[in-house]
Amino acid sequence: MTTDIVYLNGEFMPLAEARVPVLDRGFIFGDGVYEVVPVYSRNPFRLGEHLQRLQRSLDGIRLANPLRDEEWTKLILEIVARNSGEDQAVYFQVTRGVAPRAHEFPSAAKPTVFLMSNVMKTPPREQVDNGVPCITSNDFRWLKCDIKSVSLLGNCLAKQLAVDAGAVEAVMFRDGYLTEASASNVFVVRNGVLLAPPKNHLILPGITYDVVLELAHANRIPVETREIPEQEVKTAQEIWVTSSTKEVLAVTSLDGRPVGDGKPGPVFRRMHALYQEFKQTVMRRAA
Ligand code: PDD
């Protein structure tokens, strides 16, 4: 559930009072970018990295950042303070602002800045212990998936295919190779080696993806970052999805067939424990 107070263009206000003009290019064209930052014990996790990715996304759509990092940080801390829940997920987005409808960029629009915070819902214990079902899908999105754009129709369509099939995520393939899932990155374990698709224009450079790779390196889990053919995913011993809100979650069935022995595998259990421990350490340091 969305809690009460949001921020819109310079003001904090109750969610029910926040209004955006219908000619906002976010509404008309999906012309904007966004971030989701997990907050544990009221401390934003990897905020610097999220702000860097926001800048990258803004550069990718040629929109000047309306705020400096210090200003973003202040707003994010304030939205956390004004909302309930020790653990929250802060959502923030920038659109190109309000202008008469024309595809080309307006010369003088003011970007729309919006922040809200939801109580953070990490996967329930049952999903962590048993894993989740996923389906596969063609990746029919555009070719700039590294931009965290609010134009998420392709992702929404893929997610709904998963939900229609009683699954949690759609694991996507483009030209026979793994890209990512509809709202998360994907890792695969084969013969004890953790495989990650390379960060390029075909996937979102996940902040959680980076944490997982750092933890793997630090704990001597063998890693290969390379293109992963569909067949290697379908015959993997383990498949994981990762995101700021899902953290690390095992996929235990794919298109109705068990992954490995149908239970979260040993490499997943190790990584899940490492991730939880890492989170605690970082948060203790921040407190
Ligand atoms: N989505 N790939 C896609 C397409 C995503 O939408 C997300 C996250 C990720 C993982 O990125 P990160 O680890 O930085 O959260 C990968 C967010 C959580 C969302 O849209 O709600």
Taking only the tens place, the pLDDT of each residue in 81-94 is 999 999 999 999 99
In angstroms, rounded to a whole number, what is the distance separating the alpha carbons of residues 120 and 132?
19
Q: How far is the CA of 206 from the centre of ligand 1 (A)?
A: 6
Q: Whose CA is nearest to atom 9 of ligand 1?
A: 184
Residue 152 has pLDDT above 90, yes or no: yes
Q: What is the pLDDT of residues 25-62, one digit of tens each?
A: 999 999 999 999 999 999 999 999 999 999 999 999 99
pLDDT of residue 284: 82
Q: How far is the CA of 16 from the centre of ligand 1 (A)?
A: 26
User: How far apart, in Å, are the Cα atoms of 223 and each of 194, 212, 218, 240, 267?
Assistant: 5, 10, 11, 14, 12
Amino acid at 45: F
159 in active site: no
Does residue 171's CB lie within 6 angstroms of at least one atom of ligand 1?
no
Q: What does residue 44 show for φ and ψ, rounded to 5 degrees?
A: -60, 135
Q: How far is the CA of 53 from the centre of ligand 1 (A)?
A: 12
Residue 142 has pLDDT above 70, yes or no: yes
In angstroms, rounded to a whole number, what is the distance separating the alpha carbons of residues 241 and 259?
13
Catalytic residue among 74, 110, 121, 148: 148
Residue count of the chain: 287
Which of 2, 34, 36 maximizes ligand 1 atoms within 8 Å of its Cβ, making it the mutation to test the pocket?
36
The alpha carbon of residue 184 and the mean position of all alpha carbons in its chain are separated, in whole angstroms, by 6
- 8 Å CB contact between 118 and 88: yes
pLDDT of residue 2: 46
pLDDT of residue 1: 46
Q: Which ligand 1 atom is at minimum distance from the Cα of 208?
A: 13
pTM: 0.97
The dihedral over CA atoms of 7, 38, 28, 156, expressed in degrees to the nearest 10, equals -150
Q: Which ligand 1 atom is at minimum distance from the Cα of 185?
A: 16
Q: What is the pLDDT of residues 263-284, one digit of tens each?
A: 999 999 999 999 999 998 988 8
Q: What does residue 223 show for φ and ψ, rounded to 5 degrees?
A: -130, 140
Q: How far is the CA of 185 from the centre of ligand 1 (A)?
A: 7
Mean pLDDT of 135-142: 98
Q: How far is the CA of 181 from the centre of ligand 1 (A)?
A: 9
Does residue 136's CB lie within 6 angstroms of at least one atom of ligand 1?
no
pLDDT of residue 282: 84
Q: What angle do CA 153, 123, 276 make, to 5 degrees?
A: 120
Mean pLDDT of 132-150: 98
Does residue 93's CB lie within 6 angstroms of at least one atom of ligand 1?
no
In angstroms, rounded to a whole number, what is the distance separating the alpha carbons of residues 143 and 203?
9
- Checking 252-255 for CB contacts under 8 A at 24+ apart, the result is 252/130, 252/131, 252/132, 252/133, 253/131, 253/133, 253/134, 254/133, 254/134, 254/135, 254/136, 254/171, 255/135, 255/136
Residue 3 has pLDDT above 90, yes or no: no
Does residue 237's CB lie within 6 angstroms of at least one atom of ligand 1?
no
Q: Which ligand 1 atom is at minimum distance from the Cα of 50?
A: 14
In angstroms, rounded to a whole number, what is the distance separating the alpha carbons of residues 242 and 233?
16
Residue 147 has pLDDT above 70, yes or no: yes
Residue 100 has pLDDT above 70, yes or no: yes
Mean pLDDT of 158-184: 98
Residue 145 has pLDDT above 50, yes or no: yes
- Per-chain mean pLDDT for the chain: 97
In angstroms, rounded to a whole number, what is the distance separating the alpha carbons of residues 139 and 13?
38
Q: Which ligand 1 atom is at minimum distance from the Cα of 244?
A: 15
Q: What angle do CA 189, 160, 116 make, to 5 degrees?
A: 90
Mean pLDDT of 134-152: 98
Does residue 204's CB lie within 6 angstroms of at least one atom of ligand 1?
yes
Q: Whose CA is nearest to atom 4 of ligand 1?
A: 183
